[in-house]
Chains A and B, each alone.
Chain A
Amino acid sequence: MSADPRRADIDRRILEWMREPRWRYSEKRFEELALELFAFQFEHCEIYRRFCDGRNQTPSNVESWRQIPAVPTSALKEVELRCFPASETVHRFRTSGTSTDVRGTLFLDTLELYEASLLPTFRRFVFPEFLLPEDRAPIRVLAPSPSEQPDSSLSHMFGVVLDALGEQGSDFDVENGELLFDRLLTVLVESAASEMPITLCGTAFAFVHLIDHMSERGVLIGLPSASRIMETGGFKGRSREVPRAELYAELKRVLGISAERIVNQYGMTELGSQFYDSVICGPSEPRRKLGPPWARVVIVDPETGHEAASGQVGSIVVVDLANTGSVLALRTGDLGRAILDGFEVIGREPGADSRGCSIGADELLERNSP
Chain B
Amino acid sequence: MTPDEIAENLARLRDAGARLKRRPIGEVLDVLGTVLERWRDPDSIWRRDLEERLPAATGFTAPMVGEGLRRALGDWTSDALRELAIRELGPIDRTDPASDRQISGFDTTAVLLAGSIPMPSLLALIAPLALRSPVLAKAASRDPLTPHLVAQSIAEADAELGRCIRVVDFAAANEDCTRALLEADCICATGSDATIATLQSLTRPPRRLVVDGHRLSIAAVVPPASAERRSELAERLAIDIALWDQLGCLSPIAVFAVDPEPAHAAALAEAIAVALANAEANWPRGSIDASAAHEIAQQRAEAELRRAAGRAVAIHASDATAWTVIVEDGPAPRPAPLHRFIRVVPVPDPGRLLEAIQPLAAHLAAVAIEGFGEGTAGLARTLASLGASRVCAPGSLQSPPLDWRHAGRGVLAPLARFSDIEAIA
Contact = CB atoms under 8 A, between A and B. Distances in A.
Interface of A: 47-51, 54-55, 70-72, 74-75, 78-79, 301-305, 312-315, 331, 333, 335, 348-365, 367-368
B334 to A, nearest CB: 6
A54 B338 contact: no
B286 to A, nearest CB: 12
B54 to A, nearest CB: 14
A361 B117 CA distance: 21
Contact of A74 (B212, B293, B302, B304): B302
Contacts of B333: 361-362, 364-365
B290 A361 contact: no
B214 A354 contact: no
A302 B293 contact: yes
B288 to A, nearest CB: 8
B312 to A, nearest CB: 14
B320 A357 contact: no
Interface in B252-307: 253-254, 289-294, 296-298, 301-302, 304-307
B26 interface: no
Given A352-B191, A357-B115, A302 B305 contact: no
25 contacts: A72-B301, A75-B305, A78-B306, A302-B290, A302-B296, A304-B320, A305-B297, A315-B297, A331-B297, A331-B298, A352-B214, A353-B141, A355-B247, A356-B248, A357-B192, A357-B215, A357-B248, A358-B216, A358-B246, A358-B249, A358-B338, A359-B215, A361-B254, A364-B214, A368-B362
Given A357-B248, A365-B359, A79 B309 contact: yes
Contacts of B116: 356
B214 A303 contact: no
A191 to B, nearest CB: 39
A79 B302 CA distance: 10
Contacts of A315: 294, 297-298
Contact of A364 (B114, B212, B360): B360
A303 B117 CA distance: 24
A354 B321 contact: no
Contacts, number: 165
A364 B363 contact: yes
Contact of B305 (A72, A351, A359): A72
B203 interface: no
Contacts of A358: 214-217, 246-249, 251, 253, 336, 338
Most chain B C-beta atoms within 10 Å of own C-beta, residue among A357, A360, A362: A357
B76 interface: no
Nearest 10 CB-CB pairings of A with B? A352-B192, A356-B247, A50-B308, A302-B293, A361-B333, A356-B115, A360-B336, A51-B308, A359-B214, A302-B297
B100 interface: no
B415 to A, nearest CB: 19
A352 B337 CA distance: 12
Contacts of A356: 114-117, 244, 247-249, 251, 338
B251 A361 contact: no
B87 interface: no
Interface string B180-222: 0000000000111111000000000000000011111100000
Contacts of B215: 357-359
Interface of B: 114-117, 140-142, 172, 190-195, 212-217, 244, 246-249, 251, 253-254, 289-294, 296-298, 301-302, 304-310, 320-321, 333-338, 359-360, 362-363
Contacts of B195: 352-353
B308 A302 contact: no
Contact of B359 (A304, A351, A361): A361
Given A353-B192, A361-B359, A335 B140 contact: no
A86 to B, nearest CB: 15
A359 B254 CA distance: 12
Given A303-B320, A356-B338, 18 more contacts: A49-B308, A54-B304, A79-B306, A79-B308, A302-B290, A302-B321, A348-B291, A350-B192, A350-B194, A352-B195, A356-B244, A357-B213, A357-B214, A358-B246, A360-B253, A364-B333, A364-B360, A364-B362
Given A357-B212, A358-B247, A71 B301 contact: yes
A135 to B, nearest CB: 41
Contacts of A71: 301, 305
A17 to B, nearest CB: 29
Contacts of A55: 304
Nearest to B362: A368
Contacts of B193: 352, 359, 367
A351 B172 CA distance: 12
A296 B251 CA distance: 40
B308 A47 contact: yes
A302 B292 CA distance: 9
B217 to A, nearest CB: 8
Contacts of B191: 352-353, 357
Most chain B C-beta atoms within 10 Å of own C-beta, residue among A302, A314, A358: A358
B294 A363 contact: no
A358 B310 CA distance: 31
A47 B304 CA distance: 10
A48 B310 CA distance: 11
A50 B308 CA distance: 5
B302 A75 contact: yes
A54 B311 CA distance: 14
Contact of A359 (B114, B321, B363): B363
A335 B289 CA distance: 11
A366 to B, nearest CB: 9
B297 A352 contact: no
B320 to A, nearest CB: 5
B383 to A, nearest CB: 16
Most chain B C-beta atoms within 10 Å of own C-beta, residue among A314, A356, A365: A356
Most chain A C-beta atoms within 10 Å of own C-beta, residue among B115, B195, B362: B115
Contact of A357 (B249, B305, B310, B359): B249
Most chain B C-beta atoms within 10 Å of own C-beta, residue among A50, A359, A363: A359
Contacts of B212: 357
B331 to A, nearest CB: 10
Most chain A C-beta atoms within 10 Å of own C-beta, residue among B172, B190, B193, B362: B193
